[in-house]
Chain A
Amino acid sequence: MASLSSPTRSRPAFDVEAVRRDFPALQQQVNGHPLVYLDNAATTQKPLPVLEALRGYYERDCANIHRSIHQLGERATEAFEHTRLVAQRFLGAGSAREIVFTAGATAGLNLVAQTFGRMRVGSGDEVLITAMEHHSNIVPWQMLCQEKGARLAVVPINDAGELIWEALEERLTPRTRLLAVTHVSNALGTINPLRQIVAAAHARQIPVVVDGAQAVAHMPVSVAELDCDFYAFSGHKIYGPTGVGVLYGKSEWLERMPPWQGGGDMIRSVSFEGTTYNRVPYKFEAGTPHIAGVIALAAALEYALRLDPAAAAGHEDGLRALAAERLAAIPGVRLIGTAPQKVGVLSFVIEGIHPHDVSTLLDQQGIAVRAGHHCAQPLMERYGVAATSRASLAAYNTRQEIEALAAGVAQVKEMLG
């Protein structure tokens, strides 16, 4: 009895079965097998509180926000603005005014490129990105550089999939006007040392824009600690709805930035002679937003916080280690992205078998993985592959599912080998 009742500081085991019960989509069979959903870096499944929030808005509180002087409008506005407070707390931002709602991480990055980028970058300047960026953190900067006659510089990575630190420091030059970097690589899983990166950039007065799309669901994030200037993420990759996301920006920048899109809600007054803009953050939120999505995003972020991000991260890390071990043990399987600091993203290639064939055959066994270039074509080129298969984890995945993946991959080899 003594051992049972003795106070310990150990955390109660992460109850993955309880978590799974919150996700209706995980309860289904696919091609005659229980669904093994390992495509979480593409999008996560949604828990009941998120589904209920979406339904609740459309069923009870459906009204436009910030303008309807009636009961439903007040409820919708209150719920919408509640998400801003939740997102502020979730990201550790200093003020809710630093939270801008967007359509997703891509929209957030484009917003920064088209406002902050355009006011900051000029002819002959440089914008610095890295070799592991998603297309959404490459193309907006390429477009900006083309428009301004600026140059896009790229920090290379090593074979394990980590940024080469000396190369990063070398490329932070007096011409560098901003650094755009991902927190976590969507194709490799690498976690970048953001605090050090931001410190190195800030030491040279270079602001840092962070793509947080692949990070927020897998680790606690504090923009105050990171000290980054912008941080963008998508709701749907952290158990929330598609079509909605958050852009954090330091208020000192947001105040000085011009608006992005013009329209309703972002104005204070409009005449044909000119327009005065609404205050931050509303001047960046033109038009009727995805109200239901924003409201349900609060449910998603609160759900993630309730899971205990540190416990969930520990659970996922155990699965990642198991998956890496099992996959590497299969002859002919090569893992791409082997950084010591990484989340549960397992990119792999099987010698002589194309990732598309792998996906189709795994799907026959109810296992969902992604095949392709993962919107990171320059990265695929770096590794000399056209595409990879990618299994990506979430808090609701289990050890049995990892074993099913490994058995499935071995079976694919048998079928096509």
Chain B
Amino acid sequence: MPDWRELYQELILDHNRRPRNFRRPPAANREAQGFNTLCGDRIVLYLDLRDGIIADIGFQGAGCAISTASASLLTERLKGRTAAEAEALFRRMHALLTGVSEPAEGQPELGKLEALSGVAEFPTRVKCATLAWHTLHAALAGSQAMVSTEE
């Protein structure tokens, strides 16, 4: 039986109480919306993407502690990184959160994002954590379509 403390680690609770980059960056030139149809979580992720580098990043919306913290940690991690790094991290996080694969050589380090790993033990909550990452993927692809966790 998974323990709730695995899911609600102090870092997660902190990012839920005080989400980082919870704003629209002034020069945002990419955005995507994410929607969890099961629970109504909704986020908008903004990128200020210049020459393949994420110069600024932010998000807005309303969701549970897991989805909010996941989005907050995402923005904190990716500010100043390249789009290619962000894509690699998306794949790494997707594998981590859905519990499908072990890390292979050359994959990005998790760092603070490790705090989200407890989600894999809570199948009903995986989509809460992946929402921001799918939305990032859509924003990088320049897709205007709304991302739904049910697709």
Q: A residues engaging B (CB < 8 A)?
A: 31-32, 353-357, 360-361, 364, 371-373, 377, 380, 386-387, 415-416
In the bound complex, how far is the Cα of B61 from the Cα of A161, in angstroms?
Answer: 27
On whether the beta carbons of B39 and A386 are closer than 8 Å, the reply is yes
On whether the beta carbons of A416 and B8 are closer than 8 Å, the reply is yes
18 contacts between A and B (CB under 8 A): A31-B1, A32-B1, A354-B41, A356-B64, A357-B8, A357-B65, A360-B4, A360-B125, A361-B8, A372-B39, A377-B40, A380-B40, A386-B42, A387-B39, A387-B40, A415-B4, A416-B8, A416-B16
Kindly list the 10 A-B residue pairs having the minimum CB-CB distance in the complex, ordered from nearest: A386-B40, A354-B64, A356-B64, A364-B4, A387-B40, A357-B65, A357-B64, A356-B39, A372-B39, A373-B40
In the bound complex, how far is the Cα of B63 from the Cα of A32, in angstroms?
Answer: 29
Query: B49 to nearest A CB, angstroms?
Result: 29
On whether the beta carbons of B7 and A360 are closer than 8 Å, the reply is yes
Residues of chain A contacted by B16 (CB below 8 angstroms) = 416
Binary CB contact string for chain B from 61 to 85 against chain A (1 if under 8 A, 0 otherwise): 0111110000000000000000000
Apart from the given pairs A32-B1, A357-B66, 13 other A-B contacts in the complex at a CB distance below 8 Å: A354-B39, A357-B8, A357-B64, A361-B4, A364-B4, A371-B39, A372-B38, A372-B39, A373-B39, A377-B40, A386-B40, A386-B62, A387-B39
Given contacts A360-B4, A416-B13, A416-B65, contact A355 B39 (CB under 8 A): yes
Query: B8 to nearest A CB, angstroms?
Result: 7
Residues of chain B contacted by A371 (CB below 8 angstroms) = 39
Q: Does B22 contact A (CB under 8 A)?
A: no
On whether the beta carbons of B128 and A356 are closer than 8 Å, the reply is yes
Residues of chain A contacted by B65 (CB below 8 angstroms) = 353-354, 357, 416
Residues of chain B contacted by A356 (CB below 8 angstroms) = 39, 41, 64, 66, 125, 128
Query: B75 to nearest A CB, angstroms?
Result: 19
Binary CB contact string for chain B from 32 to 52 against chain A (1 if under 8 A, 0 otherwise): 000000111110000000000
Residues of chain A contacted by B125 (CB below 8 angstroms) = 356, 360
Query: A371 to nearest B CB, angstroms?
Result: 6
Residues of chain A contacted by B4 (CB below 8 angstroms) = 360-361, 364, 415
Query: B78 to nearest A CB, angstroms?
Result: 24
In the bound complex, how far is the Cα of B64 from the Cα of A34, in angstroms?
Answer: 27
Residues of chain A contacted by B7 (CB below 8 angstroms) = 360
Of the candidates B62, B63, B64, B122, the one having the most CB atoms from chain A within 10 angstroms of its own CB is B64
Residues of chain B contacted by A360 (CB below 8 angstroms) = 4, 7, 122, 124-125
Residues of chain B contacted by A415 (CB below 8 angstroms) = 4, 8
Closest to A361 in B: B4
Residues of chain B contacted by A387 (CB below 8 angstroms) = 39-40
Residues of chain B contacted by A372 (CB below 8 angstroms) = 38-40
Residues of chain B contacted by A361 (CB below 8 angstroms) = 4, 8
Closest to B127 in A: A356
In the bound complex, how far is the Cα of B42 from the Cα of A377, in angstroms?
Answer: 14
Given contacts A360-B122, A360-B124, contact A354 B63 (CB under 8 A): yes
In the bound complex, how far is the Cα of B4 from the Cα of A387, in angstroms?
Answer: 21
Of the candidates A360, A364, A377, the one having the most CB atoms from chain B within 10 angstroms of its own CB is A360
In the bound complex, how far is the Cα of B42 from the Cα of A373, in angstroms?
Answer: 13
In the bound complex, how far is the Cα of B66 from the Cα of A360, in angstroms?
Answer: 11
Residues of chain B contacted by A386 (CB below 8 angstroms) = 39-42, 62
Closest to B68 in A: A354
Query: B110 to nearest A CB, angstroms?
Result: 22
Query: A351 to nearest B CB, angstroms?
Result: 13
Of the candidates A371, A373, A380, A387, the one having the most CB atoms from chain B within 10 angstroms of its own CB is A387
In the bound complex, how far is the Cα of B128 from the Cα of A372, in angstroms?
Answer: 13
In the bound complex, how far is the Cα of B124 from the Cα of A233, in angstroms?
Answer: 28
In the bound complex, how far is the Cα of B3 from the Cα of A386, in angstroms?
Answer: 27
Residues of chain A contacted by B124 (CB below 8 angstroms) = 360
Residues of chain B contacted by A377 (CB below 8 angstroms) = 40
Which chain B residues in 6-20 approach chain A with CB under 8 Å?
7-8, 13, 16
In the bound complex, how far is the Cα of B5 from the Cα of A31, in angstroms?
Answer: 14
